[in-house]
Amino acid sequence: MPQDPSPRSSPSSLLIPEPRAGRARYAACALLAACFLLLLLSGEPLLSVTHRTCTQLAALQLGVLLKGCCCLAEEIFHLHSRHRGSLWQVLCACFPPHWQLAVLFVGCSAYLDLQEDNGHSHHLTLTCLCQLISLLFPLQKLSAVEVSELTESSKKNIAHGLAWSYYVGYLKIVLPRLKEYMEEISRANPILRAHRDTWKLHILIPLNCDIWDDVEKADSNIQYLADLPETTLTRAGIKRRVYKHSLYMIRDKDNKPRPCVLEFASPLQTLLAMSQDECAALSREQRLEQALLFYRTLRDILGGSRECAGTYRLIAYEEPAEAESHFLSGLILRHLQQQQREEYMVQEEHMLPTGSSELSLQVSASDLPQPLRSDCP
């Protein structure tokens, strides 16, 4: 099989970010082991090392508790509006999980300092002073990586909300009906029957979030053909709300037409508007990050949806550095050809006798185009 000629639409070039794998924790374990080894090689008495370690841990926990106290001073004024009048809920929101253990740890460390009575009785006071200075300036601000990991792991990115809203409020409604409507419209357009393998909704996801309202103006090789039958529902107080798709003809360099149900992912317009509005404070780099996460989240959501299986194709892409008049049509045609090859290979596999080893298939599991290969021994 020929290689996919579109490097801009391959997974390796788009670099869709995958979830972080916790390597930072592994690195911490390795550094911890190295520290233990250095302490053992230093020859210092074990009791002294243990006491110093406990003192340092207590200092860290004391900083966490002081930060919680500062947060409590603010949150207590929002007791009813944010925490429904629950003081315990306020405490749990301001202090980290198991903060009672941190209090116990600090208390034990203070007791050990008093027992030693070696001129360090003000050690905890000095620790508090340093921690409060660190909080005031602030010297303990989370890094961009930590903020990103927190929002991704808790699924609180802008992209997560947009992807779920797009799925629940639109795709989950229209995709299960798509092939039925394609069957209906194909009675009046016989050319559609020759392209059953591409009876899907092709969702364009430009990573720069620049969306064309009129696809025909983006590329003259894309021509509007007809609208699919409408889906009409009463939803969210709106009587007879209408959902519909548009069918286009994509012409190749030989002017041969290929039918395609096509549209842009409309939530990307929100990301673009947010990056252009000072109130949203979304930078261009953050917009790109959110667009990539939107694609990944939508891919994962649709991948786990049984009712939407086989009814969509996500086409994420980057615009070329130099303007190309027929870039979009060429990209879509490559995806259509890829689907046709996948369908052909699957049909060949089904025709083989059970247990045959004459054909080894590699079918793309991603919505992005990937090279397919058929190896014969």
Work out the average pLDDT over 254-279: 90
What is the pLDDT at residue 99?
Answer: 60
Tokens at 278, concatenated: 């000072």
Tokens at 288, concatenated: 């790109």
Does residue 364 carry a pLDDT above 60? Answer: no
What is the pLDDT at residue 101?
Answer: 61
Work out the average pLDDT over 238-244: 90
What is the pLDDT at residue 7?
Answer: 39
Stated pTM of the model:
0.68
pLDDT digits (tens, 9 = 90+) for 64-74: 788 888 888 88
